[in-house]
Homo-oligomer: A and B are copies of this chain.
Amino acid sequence: MPGHVSFVGAGPGAADLLTLRAMLRLQSAEVVLYDALTDASLRSVAPHAQWVDVGKRGHCAGATPQARIDALLVGMARQYAKVVRLKGGDPSIFGRLEEEIAALQANGIGFDIVPGITAALAAAADSARPLTRRGRGRSVALTTAVTAEGQLRGGRHADTEVFYMAGRQLGALGRRLLQDGWSPDTSVLVVSRAGCPDVLSSSHFLQELAHATLLHSGRPTVVTVGAGAQAVGYPPVAAVKAQPVKQPSAAA
């Protein structure tokens, strides 16, 4: 008889943003399949489980193909009674959960899903910038900045738009969003390592988004655009301002 798989949302990284339900699943797991994005400190929750890294961060050459992860998951569920498939953030948001559920279903393996804090929520909390705003911020869209094929994507779906996996291409994303009809002075908030003690956030006008590149380099990053990127009680401000191309005259 096969075991049971729990898909568990790890949240954005910090172990104290796990839910209690996630914690319980981890504590009773015999084996934990986890992604490279997951914070290493989460291991302390289940020190006696076998931890298997199946990470496929970004679209690197060394990434584990999804089909191999599916096969590994099925194999582990045949060997162990309690398997946890730990996913960064929330399993239902950009977690490729569909493929793994289908693999389990095809093999008659039972599962459940424990939701997690997705990065957009942690970024909003850390920066005190609510994703919805009275009157002007009534819808929020979550989008990947990069497709599975590695193509950059923009879009203007809602009053507030949050782009995931955007860190490597902030300049190109900014240009793309201008093409998509966002105004150059749209407020943009860039947050990396949301939810963690070393979180960094910076505010920009859309036309200056490229300036955020260095600060957030090499860190998991979400980019919030529009109403939800504005500081509460203030008109949009740019914390990182462009240097003027021409120096102002002495009289200025």
Contact = CB atoms under 8 A, between A and B. Distances in A.
A14 B98 CA distance: 25
A23 interface: yes
A215 to B, nearest CB: 22
Given A11-B19, A102-B232, A155 B132 contact: no
Interface in A95-115: 95-99, 101-102, 105-106, 111-115
B142 A140 contact: yes
Interface stretch (A57-65, A122-130, A201-209): A122-130
A233 to B, nearest CB: 5
A143 B134 contact: no
A194 to B, nearest CB: 9
Q: Lowest 8 A-B CB distances belong to which pairs?
A: A92-B124, A113-B125, A97-B130, A115-B121, A16-B21, A115-B125, A139-B143, A16-B20
A226 interface: no
A81 interface: no
A174 interface: no
A143 B155 CA distance: 17
